[in-house]
Amino acid sequence: MSREGVFLLVMSALPFLGALIPGLMIRAGRTACATFAAVPTALALTMLLILAPSVMQGEVIRVELDWLPQLGLSVSFFLDGLGLLFAGMILGVGLLVTLYARFYLSSDDPMGQFYTYLLLFQGAMLGIVLSDNILLLLIFWELTSLSSFLLIGYWKHLPEGRQGARMALAVTGGGGLAMIGGMLILGNIAGSYNLTDILSQGDAIRASEWYLPALILILLGAFTKSAQFPFHFWLPHAMAAPTPVSAYLHSATMVKAGVFLLARMWPVLAGTDAWFYIVATTGLVTMVLGALIALFKNDLKALLAYSTVSHLGLLTMLLGFGTKFAAIVAVFHIINHLTFKAALFMTAGIVDHAVHSRDIKRLGGLRHLMPITFVIGTVAALSMAGIPLFNGFLSKEMMLDEAARTGWAGSAWVVPALATLGALLSVAYSFRFIMHVFFGPVRDDYPAEPHDPPFGLWAAPALLVVGVVVIGLVPALIVGPLVAVAGGAVIGGGELPYYSLKIWHGVTPALFMSAAAILGGLALLWRHASLDRAWSLAPRPEAKVIFDRLIAAAVSLARRITDGAHDGAMSRYLAIFVVATVALGAVAWTGGGTPPPTRGLQPVPLVVAIGWALLLLGAVSVVVTHRSRFLALVLISIIGLMISAGFVYLSAPDLALTQISVETVTIMLLLLALHFLPKTTPIESSWFRRIRDGVIAAAAGGGVGALAYVFMLRDVDTISGYHLANSYVGGGGTNVVNVILVDFRGYDTYGEIIVLAIAGLVIFAAIEALLRGPAAARIRNTNYAQDRSRDRHPLMMVVATRVMMPIAIMVGVYIFLRGHNQPGGGFVAGLVVSIALLMQYMASGFAWAQARQRVEYHTMIGWGVLIAGLTGAAAWLAGRPFLTSAFGYVHLPPIEEFELATAMAFDLGVFLAVLGAVMLMLYSLSRIARYAGESTNLEPMDFDPTERKTDPKEGV
Amino acid sequence: MEIVVASSVAVLTAGGVYLILRLRTFPVILGLALLSYAVNIFLFASGRLATGLPPVLSRYGDATYTDPLPQALVLTAIVISFGMTAVLVIVALGAFLESGTDRIDIAPREDDAEPRESHR
């Protein structure tokens, strides 16, 4: 990886890393927080400036790291001219906004949060403009939607802020979804998700039959993001955000993301009729409409928002023209719009800050009261109007020049006329901004005393305004090279068309159009009062109302569907689930052919037939008698027993051992639980319902049974041969099942013991919560004593379990030790030992046994998982992958040769985890009993004959 | 033999499905237990049936063995289904103790006014 590549990678990661800083620094004070929030941005900007010279010479810097190569997703960034321009805007304005926000936000606002969101957003934007992989670009695209949601809704106490944020997320997020589809189609046509590859295949993509769907979907993403008609309505509502957010998102970055995408995809998608008519027309309509609405907005930020919509339309239109010249003008105008619009937003924020109102009707006459703000605002607004000597004039002149040469559907005057109209309206609202805010008589009813802000607040817009003037005066010198290299990147290399960045182009049609626009705009402003009255009377659709209605309709539809399918009846969900599964299975069954059977049926000996009959009888009896719950519980154990026997017969001794011990533990658990549950199930379902459920059950059972039958009669290739061949050679054990568990698929087993451990802990925690909640009173107030046996801890059982305990443990150890070579192992041993322990609990009561228990079950679980994990990790020390096992043979004279394998240590972990989890589950349940006021016995048995004899008082 | 196993799976599945469609927690737990049996046997059967060929390597030369992999999968599945049953039992128990009823369905609104029935 080259040095430049590393720089690029670090640069794109910096904002995300930096997003952690404000949260830490906010305790050090607001200034420190802002300062440190600026550090990552400043660092990234420095890196960009270091990289800039080589990019300006036409070099493209790349870096690539694999992420998910199977999906074609890689972390690859590239920096070309267009990326440089946008990255510079994002970081540069980001820095200014950081400064501005420090002085703008009040002391009540959580500043740390603000900077964190801002840096997240900045990182996401930077990712969009630098991504060289369209999947990565999509991720960043969605990230901008999410982080802008947080920023727009930053003032959580304002309902407009929350609604605006939601609207922005719905619109831009929805567009983003469409774009995902478009990008995937595009990647599919090009055969690569690499942007550089896609950009080189413009002709193939334009010729593809999938071009139009891809185009429309991608445009939906771009248009929603860049607030193009008819998706323009979210932008003004997003103005409820704090002004620094508006200045950043809605002038320089987020809304430009759509324009960026159009520019980025220009070499691939532009140049067709579809592109021209969709993009240029949308842009033209948006430009005129936005400007028209802006003229009648009284809120300063709303005026600027619609003006932004209008200028975004202008940019879209330019890119839509599809000519190289227009694309370069667009790049130039992006720079100009950034400078004056960010300055204007900041000016609006300053006015709001000083006067406590952004309503134009309550302002006016501020030029003497706020002279600095007046100068900044006026210069920026003049540039927006397109007045000569300011940079807005230059790009607008070039735009008109291009528009004058563009025909639309055979008509030569539509585009020039509408473009002039847009420019005219733009002049009108720009001058309105100046005249109605700063000029006019000084009023005596300002909500607050107007004053110029501190330096910190006007420094950022002042800097931008200097840019406005300097670019306006000597454009070629200041931004000429940047426009050339960025424009070159947009048009995809090749010769740059002829253009010149200068003020005087001679007497051209554009000059007349410009003059008409300025004069017409001033005339409009002159008659503004009467036009305003007409405007407010004219009926027009309110986008927010329509949007809200759409959302409400979608919500109510979703609610109807959800309520219909999800009415709180779990039996209904399960029925739907089973029926759907059976239906899908049936479809699959009929869809494909079944190869003929390759195996014959095996004979059924009499003893198997008896076992089978018992199993079926057990299953049917459970269903029939399920209302008397104890009986059903007894019957279900028959099934488990028969299955264990079946495993023995069908060559699965390990399964038989496991099944029978799990069976024991399960029945104990259910018995314990049933103590606190109703003992019978009432009849609640109607006959119809029972028949319906029976039909569903029969269909499901029949389907699964048929599947199993068909499957069993056919051979398939499996990977089991590998396991059989390598079990002893590679794993050192002859019990292949155990070797699979602890070695081949040790990672699965590791996961499984963790699941079991979590289940144990969940049960412990649930009981803990239960005993603290309202259930506690119910347990205390219920009398469970009536069910209690008079001989709870019988002598015979106590003595027998004591005698059996060492034997049972010995069996457990034996099963554990031989597990690697013979049926057995950690799972079974853990279950056997827990049964041995549970017998003590049953015989003498939980309290008695618990008092004699030395190791906490939690600790046991912890050790189990830890030992298994450490055994796996030990393989790293030998330079092997996780859980690689090693084994060797040791010769000890009395015991002969035996094997030592790391798998044994892993199995020990399994053993401990299983033992701990099972015991913890049952122990937790028993806690309810003790809480219920069950007497705890101090003696191991109810009646101890040995003690009785020696008691003198009894006098036998 | 195959018919024996397949029919066992079928009956256990049918019984399990019928029981999970009941309206109280305990039958649902029983139903899930039956379904666990069925699923475990089904998985096991995917290794095809063989008698007298346990996958424990013989010392004496080449022998044939049954498929060990489904057995390993089913072994852990048995233990995990125990864990799942245990968690469900606790959930059912907690729900009953907290709410006083062991219905699995959220009662329709009009039922709220009715007095809760006693089970004891």
Write the pLDDT tens digit of every residue in A7-51.
Answer: 888 988 999 998 888 878 777 788 888 888 899 999 999 999 999
pLDDT of residue A787: 62
Let me know if residue B37 belongs to a domain: yes
B88 in A contact zone (CB under 8 Å):
no
Evaluate whether B36 touches A662 at the Cβ level (below 8 Å).
no
Quote the pLDDT of residue A35: 86
Stretches in chain A below the pLDDT threshold 50: 953-956
Residue B67 C-alpha, separation from nearest chain A C-alpha, in angstroms: 6
What is the distance between the alpha carbons of residues A421 and A772, in angstroms, rounded to a whole number?
Answer: 72
Residue A395 CB burial class (10 angstroms; 0-12, 13-18, ≥19): buried
Say how far apart CA A796 and CA B44 lie, in whole Å.
Answer: 40
Binary contact (B79, A762; C-beta < 8 A) = no
pLDDT tens string A143-175: 999 998 998 888 888 888 888 898 889 999 999
Taking the CA of residue A796 and the nearest CA in chain B, the distance in Å comes to 30
Q: Is residue B24 part of a domain?
A: yes
B30 touches chain A (CB under 8 A): yes
B26 touches chain A (CB under 8 A): yes
Could you tell me which residues are beta bridge partners of residue A194? A133
User: B59 in a domain, yes or no?
Assistant: no
Peptide bond between residue B54 and the one before it cis (omega within 30 degrees of 0): no
State the Cα torsion A789-A795-A801-A803 to the nearest 10°. Answer: 180
Q: CB of B69 within 8 Å of any CB in chain A?
A: yes
* Structural contact between residues A779 and A928, judged by C-beta atoms closer than 8 angstroms: yes
Cα(A194)–Cα(A236) distance, integer angstroms: 35
Q: Does B25 touch chain A (CB under 8 A)?
A: yes
- Which of A682, A734, A756 minimises the CB distance to B56? A734
Residue B27 lies in a domain: yes
Q: What is the pLDDT of residue B118?
A: 42
Side chain identity at residue A149, one-letter code: F
Q: Is B87 inside a domain boundary? A: yes
Give residue A628's identity as a one-letter amino acid code.
S
Domain assignment of residue B117, yes or no: no
**Cβ–Cβ below 8 Å for B15 and A619:** yes
Which of B9, B24, B96 is closest, CB to CB, to A708?
A: B9
| B63–A contact, CB cutoff 8 A | no
CB contact under 8 A, A651 and B69: no
CB atoms within 10 A of CB A846: 23
Q: Output DSSP code: residue A890.
A: E
Average pLDDT along chain B: 84
Three-class secondary structure of residue A677 per DSSP = coil
Angstrom distance (rounded) from CA A929 to CA A834: 20
Phi, psi at A299, each rounded to 5°:
-80, 125
What phi-psi label fits residue A364: left (phi over 0), alpha (psi between -120 and 50 degrees) or beta?
A: left
User: What distance lies between CA A5 and its chain's CA centroid?
Assistant: 28
How far is A280 from chain B, CA to nearest CA, in Å?
Answer: 56
Query: Which residue of chain A is at minimal alpha-carbon distance from B94?
Result: A770
Q: Which has the closest alpha carbon to A762: B89, B72, B102?
A: B89
Q: A701 and B1: CB-CB below 8 Å?
A: no
Q: Which residues of A touch B51 (CB under 8 A)?
A: 602, 649-651
Neighbours of A900 (CB within 10 A): 13
Count CB-CB contacts under 10 A for residue A541: 9
Structure tokens given for A701:
């059972």
Interface test with B, best of A582, A639, A695, A712 (most B CBs within 10 A): A712
Amino acid at A394: L
- Judging contacts by C-beta atoms under 8 Å, the chain A residues touching residue B22 are 571, 626, 681, 685, 693
Q: CA Rg, chain B, in Å?
A: 21
Q: Do A643 and B50 touch (CB under 8 A)?
A: no
B9·A693 Cβ contact <8 A: no
Residue B110 has pLDDT above 50, yes or no: no
Size of interface A-B (CB pairs under 8 A): 324
**Contact list, A746 vs chain B (CB under 8 Å):** none
3-class secondary structure for A532-598?
HHHHHHCCCCCHHHHHHHHHHHHHHHHHHHHHHHCCCCHHHHHHHHHHHHHHHHHHHHHHCCCCCCC
Classify residue B120: in a domain, yes or no.
no
Q: Does A272 touch chain B (CB under 8 A)?
A: no
B chain contacts of residue A727, beta-carbon cutoff 8 Å:
57, 68
Q: Which residues from A are below 8 Å from B9, CB to CB?
A: 701, 704-705, 708
Is residue A84 within 8 Å of residue A102, measured between CB atoms? no
Domain annotation covers residue B60: no
Contact residues, chain B, for A719 at CB < 8 Å: 69
SS3 (DSSP) at A609: helix
pLDDT at B57 exceeding the cut of 70: yes
Measure CA of the first residue to CA of the last residue in chain B; give whole Å: 46
Question: Domain tally for chain B?
Answer: 1
Q: Which of B26, B37, B50 sits opposite A681 (nearest CB)?
A: B26
Residue of B nearest to A709 (CA): B6
CB atoms A619 and B104 under 8 Å: no
DSSP code per residue over A496-544? PPP----S---S-HHHHHHHHHHHHHHHHHHTHHHHHHHHHHS----HH
Q: In this structure, are residues A258 and A225 in contact, taking their beta carbons and an 8 Å threshold?
A: yes
Whole-number pLDDT of residue A208: 87
Between chains, do A601 and B105 touch, taking CB under 8 Å as contact? no
Here the CATH number for the domain that contains residue B35 is: 1.10.287.3510
Domain hosting B37: range is 2-50+66-112
Beta-bridge partners for B24: B103
Asked if A426 contacts A344 with a C-beta cutoff of 8 angstroms, the reply is: no
Report yes or no: B43 at the A interface, CB cutoff 8 Å.
no
The DSSP secondary structure of A796-863, one letter per residue, reads HHHHHHHHHHHHHHHHHHHHHHHTTTSS--HHHHHHHHHHHHHHHHHHH-HHHHHHT--S-HHHHHHH
pLDDT for res A898 = 62
In SS3 terms, A225-292 reads as HCCCCCCCCHHHHHHHCCHHHHHHHHHHCHHHHHHHHHHHHHHHHCCCHHHHHHHHHHHHHHHHHHHH
- Measured distance CA(A166)–CA(A555) in Å, rounded: 14
Compare all CA atoms of chain A with the CA of B90 and give the residue at the minimum distance.
A763
Using the predicted structure, report yes or no on whether residue B116 has a pLDDT greater than 50.
Answer: no
Residue in chain A lying closest to B43 (CA):
A708
Say if the Cβ atoms of A604 and B27 lie within 8 Å.
no
